[in-house]
Structure 1
Amino acid sequence: MAVFWYTLLFSCVALVHVLPETVGADKSQREREADKVVYLPGQPLEQFGFQHFAGYIKLRPNDEKALFYWFFEAQNDVSHRPLVLWLNGGHTGHKANEGRKKREEKGEGPGCSSVAYGAMQELGPFLVRNKGQLIYNKYSWNKVANILFLEAPVGVGFSYSNKSGDTEKLGDSITAEDSHAFLIGWFKRFPNFRLHDFYIAGESYAGHYVPQLANLIHEKNKGAKKGYSINLKGILMGNAVINDPTDQPGLIDYAWTHAIISDQLHRNIYKDCDFKSNISTSQCTMHIRGFLEAYSGIDIYNIYAPVCLSSLNKAAQKLIVAPRFFTQHDLWHKLPSGYDPCTEDYVEAYLNREDVQKALHANLTKLSYPYTPCSNIIRKWNDAPDTVLPIIRKLLNTGLRVWVFSGDTDGRVPVTSTRYSINEMGLKVKEEWRAWYHKQQVAGWVGTYVEGGLTFLTVRGAGHQVPMFAPDQSLSLFSHFLSNTPLPSSHH
């Protein structure tokens, strides 16, 4: 009898110790199952061998923020593939950077969705076409990785806060903190991915988001409790805003070298505009207006691509992120912009459909505003450094892999800007600038640097959204980035 009571007591004690972990695992499994996307309206009829999930992660017990995500498992070998977070950037149109000292004019203002752009126009497995039809993207990045798309900060896409004042307090720092909190919550829901190699990738204003989030992860990993460390291995950024002082002359020089502006206008801008001090004279203002007028009939994001004629007169919010010399002009906001704006219109219509939102477990709180690819409710951006180059250098010194790529027909964050920015870092060259190949054709050019493993490359003929304009080449560069192997140096 004593043995019986001892055994019973031991079993109860063991149950007390196991129960919380079991309950937590059961809760995560229930939440995962609830987030599983079973069918998307308009999706192709063929069967796909991967699962995908969408839903919300509440950031903290004591706040009202919830960020929306869409996660695609890899198409094969899920348990051994890395996990990659994709972030999109920002646009202008709101009074941004109000907290930046001596800069009250309109400037860089994030607020665009990685679901509307990254997932549904660029690198996700399902791309939106006219009349709500989806096509399968044979160059989807989930061919080689598990891909997680996040709409951040709150106010972007389906992400929200029940506390209205939260959208007035946004900036780079809060976005990084909230994105980190999201990742901690997401890993609790998907614990099987906690030990996977983790990378952060993005484009445009994600040139701020990506390194700042990577830096925060690095710092928080130092004192992280068990289960809260993130296995960060590297970052990848495309056509990225990383250094204001070089972004502006890079923008001007690109337009001049591509015969968009005249020799005279190029000289006048440099004579009358002081990009270092950001002090604009009336003469400078006149020259910048001339610069903008030169772009008024073409797509600044891909200077050789046709524009969507039905969108020419629509002053829509696009993925524009600009220094104040340009955004103070109303004409800037009326430029044809946006990687086939017609496709963007299709995506917006699709994500506003009730059946689509139901399938994605989105808009559960019935937001008071329609879905837009770029947020119309973020009206203040309280902090954004002029440069993230010191952060990139710090990340290189920690041993993280850093690749930066440029679609070379993008006039908005052109290859000249990125080249000037990287040159500012004064890194020692490891491998000289050379062509890289894909399918026996030159796909672009690449160079590498000694310090920490920085790689800088171009994608030939691609605009701002590289995976949209060069899907095959972008999948190749992404695969080489993940495997940390050099891009092919010949057409064999």
Structure 2
Amino acid sequence: MRGSWLQTYIFATVVSANPVLSAVDYYVSPELIPGLSIVEDEELIPEMYAGHIPFAGDRDGEEISYFFWKFSHPRQYSDSLVFWFNGGPGCSSMDGALLESGPFRVDADGSVYLNEGSWHNRADIVYVDQPVGTGFSTSNLESINYDEDLETVTEHFMRFIDSYFQSFPDDLDKELVLAGESYAGQYIPFFADAIMRHNAGLDDDYVKYKLKALLIGNGWVDPSTQSLSYLPFAVEKGLIDQSHPNFPDLLKAHEECQNAINSKGSEEKFSYQECEKIITLLLKYTKDTSSKVDENQVCLNVYDYTLRDSYPSCGMNWPEGLQNVPEFFSKPGVMEALHLDSEKMQRWHECDSKVLEKLSNPKSRPSVNLLPSILESGLDVFLFNGDHDFICNNKGVLDTINNMEWGTHSGFSENSQIYEWYHLDSQTYEEQVAGYVKHDRNLTFISVYNASHMIASDKSLISRGVLDIYMNNVLLEVQDGQNFLLSADDLADLDNDEESEDQDDADDEDTNNEHVDDETDNEDLDEHQSEPKPSDEPPKSFKRFVVVAASCSVIAVIAYFLYFKRFRRKIRAILVDPNHRHDAQNKTVSWADDLEDGLDFDIDQEMGSSGKPTPGSKKKGSYTSVPSNTVDESFELDDF
């Protein structure tokens, strides 16, 4: 049936002057990627496909081509397919592939080396340059017709995936996850809404896209609310205070933003210039004008407020390694290996200012307006945030959640569940603090400690734990009424952790059984050695029955305790919905399906005045005190 649908539906929606390419035509040979030839273990090198996926544009004769680069594990089949988008708007998703969640990093010579925290080890992942004009995505006409509204961006993406699945039909069987960061917080909900409407318009006999979840990192989903978070967040983090001579100017800008939002009436704008002014002033007033300060330490880095940059870049030169990516694409043979014509394609640059300028969204409202219906449909939405980000900070995202109504409540309800998250290092076997997780009614918020706007850049292995939480590759521990999640570099370590716990439980059970047997034997021995009993004593057979029954009761109690402890430790799912209901179809959260009734979790765990658990370090078997925060030094909203 799939082949028939592909031939009728896709051919009806895709108009291309070029023949349809199959997966083999997009195959990328590892030998042609500089740096991979020295990797000894071939299983560490992903299977790769890349090139242009063409589809019909909006003008006569126009053909738009989106560039993609797909990675999958060479030996392990995955039933999940992740589409990844960087933001900007106008920033290439090769940022994701080569600086963040992808399998490679680029050295100063322009050669790649492996990223241990690559997401392709958990799921197939496709990095897409979009909208048109971003990265290597282009048009066959001389001038690019840049998208002006998210409605057009969404229509083009739907045409793209129609064409993609024509070339990769086997991927139609996979569960679809939309992931990305920053301005992708607009793209992803729009794309999800379009996929849902696409599926609803098809008969059951047709193949539908198996969309399961949205993973949005440091997302720009609600411009108004998030803009109003800048000043309070800056004060909270000590970046500026009321004693600053320019603080009244910041208060005035904040008030003007709020007034603009309040006076919108029925003509709500996508964003307001009054609100965009706040961050510009903050960067200006927090400059370090001391003559002793290095030029690259003058300005606050908006993507990690603990770092500094030159002014007015303020983060544009970050992260470390960004300057190496153009060198990689300029290496002889790389473009050809990725099925790109180096003579026709412009030199790669991270972000395109024209995409940003044109995408003004005169018709669309922000994606936060789409999220309630998406959640109520049963899809899982994950909003994960690096807590050192300023431009899409935790406060702004949490305020957005609290203002949003879905289901029967606004924001997180009293039934929301909170978990402290630890990550198991496969080298040291230490469980290190990673962040905290809060969940309610299909929505999960994850705060990643000591991480920036680009979490996967400076916290690579831990960032993959976000995907593991969605995919249920985690353990749940309950200690003293507190709930903890454990993810790991290597999933085998979780299995070993379970087996070790099982063996400890088994040893304890054997020891207890031996102790009970010894008691029983001693009773029998005493019975045989004792003097004859008076005739009014119970018969020996009755006394033996009482001893055996008591022993069995003790064994049963011990076995029940050990079984419950063992079973609770082995749960590979989290976040119980107290109502066991997430939508009208009784759909449960995908990563809580196997959780049994009867486990008593403290879902109202107090997280302190900040609303989150105190970060700490944990070694195997115990949770200890808070370590000093450390930052691994390592861009996207292109214009402030």
Counterparts of 2:457 and 2:66 in 1: how far apart (Å)?
Answer: 25
**Alpha-carbon shift at residue 236 of structure 1 (Å):** 0.5
**Residue 351 (str. 1) matches residue 329 (str. 2):** yes
Aligned pairs (5 A) from 1:45-64: 45-49=39-43, 50-60=46-56, 63-64=62-63
CA distance in 1, matches of 2:306, 2:147: 39
Q: What residue identity is the alignment partner of 2:93?
A: S
2:145 is paired with a residue whose SS is helix
Paired AA for residue 225 in structure 2? T
The amino acid across from 1:46 in the alignment is: E
Query: Which residue does the alignment assign to 2:432?
Result: 441
Deviation at 1:87, TM superposition (A): 0.5
RMSD: 3.0
Q: Is the 8 A contact 2:299 2:308 kept in 1?
A: no
2:367 aligned residue: 388
Change over 3 Å in CA distance of 1:46–1:224 after alignment to 2? farther
User: Is 1:374 aligned with 2:351?
Assistant: yes
User: What is the match of residue 242 of structure 1?
Assistant: 221
Matched, 1:158 2:139: no
Instruction: Choose from 413, 427, 430 the match for 2:411.
Output: 427
Structure 1 residue 363: deviation in Å?
3.9
Equivalents in 1 of 2:23, 2:377: separation in Å?
34
Please list the CA deviations of residues 164-203 of structure 1 after superposition, one character each: whole Å capped at 9, or x if unmatched: 5543343311111111111111111111110111110010
Cα 1:485/1:261, change in 2 over 3 Å: same
Q: Against the structure 1 CA distance between its residues 164 and 205, is the aligned structure 2 distance closer, same or farther, given a 3 Å change threshold?
A: farther
**Alignment correspondent of 2:29:** 38
Q: 1:209 aligns with which of 187, 195, 201?
A: 187
**Which residues of structure 1 form unaligned runs of 5+?**
1-16, 91-109, 314-330
Aligned to 2:300: 298
Does residue 1:413 correspond to 2:392, yes or no? yes
Partner-residue secondary structure (3-state), 1:53: strand
Shift of residue 366, structure 1, vs aligned partner: 0.4
**Distance change (3 Å), C-alpha of 1:298 and 1:48:** farther
* 8 Å CA contact 2:438, 2:445 repeated in 1: yes
CA distance in 2, matches of 1:388, 1:184: 23
Matched residue, 2:64? 65
**Change over 3 Å in CA distance of 1:281–1:72 after alignment to 2:** closer
Tell me the equivalent position of 2:80: 82
Are the structure 2 counterparts of residues 409 and 64 from structure 1 closer, same or farther at C-alpha, using a change threshold of 3 Å?
same
| SS of residue in 1 equivalent to 2:322 | helix
SS at match of 1:240: coil
Q: Identity of aligned pairs, percent?
A: 26
Kept in 1, the 8 Å contact 2:250–2:282? The answer is no
Task: Report Cα offsets for 1:65-89 as digits up to 9, x if no partner.
Answer: 01010001135432x4300000100
Give the C-alpha shift of residue 361 in structure 1. 1.1
Gaps of 5+ in 2: 12-17, 262-271, 288-297, 405-409, 425-430, 478-482, 485-617, 622-640
Render the CA deviation track for 1:74-122: whole Å, top value 9, x for unaligned: 35432x43000001001xxxxxxxxxxxxxxxxxxx100111x100000
Mapped to 2, the partners of 1:228 and 1:76 lie a distance apart of 27
- Change over 3 Å in CA distance of 1:139–1:285 after alignment to 2: closer
Displacement of 1:274 in angstroms is 1.9
Q: Summarize deviations over 1:350-398 as a string: whole Å, max 9, x none.
A: 223342111111246703x422111144341141645322211110011
Alignment TM-score, normalising by the size of structure 1: 0.78
Comparing 292-301 with 440-449, which one deviates more in the overlay? 292-301
Does residue 289 in structure 1 map to residue 281 in structure 2?
Answer: yes
Determine the C-alpha separation between the residues in 2 that align with 1:287 and 1:55: 38
The CA distance in 2 between the partners of 1:360 and 1:146, in whole Å, is 18
2:562 corresponds in structure 1 to none
- Between the aligned partners of 1:180 and 1:290, the Cα distance in structure 2 is 39
Rg: which structure is higher? 2
The letter of the residue matching 2:85 is: L
| Counterpart-to-counterpart distance in 2, 1:77 and 1:227 | 28
Rounded Cα–Cα distance in structure 2 between residues aligned with 1:274 and 1:210:
30
**TM-aligned CA distance change 1:139 to 1:487, over 3 Å:** farther
- Checking the alignment, whether the CA contact within 8 Å between 1:125 and 1:141 is kept in structure 2 is yes
For residues 142-180 of structure 1, the C-alpha deviation after alignment (integer angstroms, 9 at most, x for no partner) is: 111000100001101111012355433433111111111
Q: What letter matches 2:196 in structure 1?
A: H
Q: Taking structure 2 as the reference length, what is the TM-score of the superposition?
A: 0.61
Paired residue secondary structure (1:167): coil
CA distance in 1, matches of 2:52, 2:282: 45
8 A Cα contact 1:170 1:382, kept in partner: yes
Asked if 1 retains the 8 angstrom alpha-carbon contact of 2:387 and 2:394, the reply is: yes
Give the 5 Å matches for 1:396-407.
396-407=375-386
Distance change in 2, residues 1:285/1:114 (3 Å): closer
Query: Taking structure 1 as reference, are residues 56 and 290 closer, same or farther at Cα in structure 2, changes over 3 Å only?
Result: closer
Distance in 1 of aligned mates of 2:278 and 2:433: 40
Q: What count of residue pairs does the alignment treat as equivalent?
A: 421
In 2, distance between residues paired with 1:405 and 1:119?
19
Whether the 8 Å CA contact 2:131–2:147 is kept in 1: the answer is no
- Tell me if 1:467 matches 2:456: yes
CA contact (8 A) 1:76 1:143 kept: no
Which secondary structure state, in structure 1, belongs to the residue aligned with residue 116 of structure 2? coil
**Residue by residue, what CA displacement relative to the aligned partner does 1:108-137 show, whole Å, maximum 9, x if unpaired?**
xx100111x100000111111211121111
Q: Could you give the per-residue CA deviations for residues 237-290 of structure 1, whole angstroms, max 9, x where no partner exists?
A: 0100011121112122222111111224556523453223449999x9699535
